[in-house]
Amino acid sequence: MSAYKPQVSNSKYTFKHDLFKGKVLFCTGGRSGICYKIVETMMSHGVDAAIVGRDVKGLAESAEALEKSTGQRCLPASADVRDPKQMEKAVKDTVDKYGKIDFVICGDTDCMISSSLAPITSLSSNAFKAVVDIDLLGTYNTIKATLPYVRESHGSYLHISATLHYRGLPYQAHVSAAKAGVDALSNVLAVEEGPRGVRSNVIAPGPIGNTEGMSRLTPKGWQAQNDIPLGRMGDTSDIANAALFLFSPAANWITGTVLAVDGGENHIRQLSLPYPQSLLDPDSVKGLIKGKL
């Protein structure tokens, strides 16, 4: 039997290029990484977008690049997801430009803190609060600001979570707690707003290559093919294609769902650092990772 060669799918061969023509996407965290790729893929299928974040210059550069690569419109909307008033302003700017909002991606996160490893004993309250404020409170603020318009369009929410909290994972209390809250919030939103025609789902990415968080957290010498059933790390396009499906009419009876896009990794996940050695003697494993421990 010949060996299976892992491949990355390409949405242009799966979905109609004008699938979302006339639709509007509002995305927090769309300046870079996974959310940037989702926005680019959605725009390449006809959607106009607004990307939201704190980096004014970076947002403008990303919006320009997205417009150039897709031929669609992209609004850079500067706002801090932790501030309800700023989020209301970003939503107003989006509606003033496009007239509506159909889809919302809640994807903003604090990459530097989220990609740091720390046991509860050395994780500061400020670091824990920063992740919860951006990931969970930021998701709540985004929902509150956009919901009146998503109700009008009978639209859909997508939240970018993680698989970390499916089990107790050492050194990840801050991210696990925040993402578990995001999952729960999405489920409540699906139940409360389903009768109004609004859907809410979650994508939980597995290990995604060429992202800042993964590069910092991956132990030295780690081999994806040994720990992921499908034999490779994920690509941002894997997440984008899943998002495309969940926003599409093909998923119009799917809500309140958490979709793990991880190549099956969660089913056979092993702790990336020696247990319990990494907890009892943290100094002995500091050389195994790039991120803070």
What is the per-residue pLDDT across 153-192, written as a single tens digit (0 to 9) for each?
A: 999 999 999 998 998 888 889 999 999 999 999 999 999 9
Instruction: In whole angstroms, give the CA distance from residue 108 to residue 135.
Output: 6
Give residue 112's pLDDT.
Answer: 55
- pLDDT above 70: residue 292: no
188-191: which pairs have CB atoms within 8 A and are 24 or more residues apart? 189/143, 189/157, 190/255, 190/256, 191/256
Q: What is the pLDDT of residues 30-78, one digit of tens each?
A: 898 999 999 999 999 999 999 999 999 999 999 999 999 999 999 999 9
Arithmetic mean of pLDDT over the chain: 89
Q: Is 197 exposed, middle or buried (0-12, 13-18, 19+ CB in 10 A)?
A: middle
Q: Are strands 74-78 and 103-106 parallel, antiparallel or unpaired?
A: unpaired
Proportion of the chain above pLDDT 70, given as a percent: 84
Place of tokens 């998923």: 251
Spacing of C-alpha 72 from chain mean position? 22
Q: What is the pLDDT of residues 77-94, one digit of tens each?
A: 999 999 999 999 999 999
Give residue 148's pLDDT.
Answer: 98
- Give me 113's structure tokens: 């803190």
Look up residue 220 and give its DSSP letter: T
- Give me 277's structure tokens: 């050695």
Higher pLDDT, 125 or 293: 125
Give residue 27's pLDDT.
Answer: 98
CATH of domain 16-288: 3.40.50.720
Q: Which of 73-82, 265-274, 277-286 has the highest mean predicted lDDT (pLDDT)?
A: 73-82
Give residue 5's pLDDT.
Answer: 65
Instruction: In whole angstroms, give the CA distance from residue 211 to residue 32.
Output: 9
Catalytic center residues? 161, 179
Alpha helices in the chain (DSSP H): 33-43, 56-70, 84-98, 111-114, 125-132, 138-153, 173-193, 212-217, 224-227, 236-247, 277-280
Instruction: In whole angstroms, give the CA distance from residue 267 to residue 93.
Output: 43
| Candidate from 12-16, 41-45, 142-146, 242-246 with smallest mean pLDDT | 12-16
Q: Which residue type, as a one-letter code, is found at position 92? A: K
Contacting residues for 275 by C-beta, under 8 A, at least 6 apart = 170
Instruction: In whole angstroms, give the CA distance from residue 278 to residue 56.
Output: 40
Q: Which residue type, as a one-letter code, is found at position 280? A: L
Cis omega (within 30 of 0) on the bond before 229? no
Question: Is the pTM for the entire model greater than 0.75?
Answer: yes
Q: pLDDT grade, residue 293 (50/70/90)?
A: low
As beta bridge partners, residue 87 has none
Instruction: In whole angstroms, give the CA distance from residue 236 to residue 239.
Output: 5
Higher pLDDT, 272 or 23: 23
Instruction: In whole angstroms, give the CA distance from residue 208 to residue 224.
Output: 10
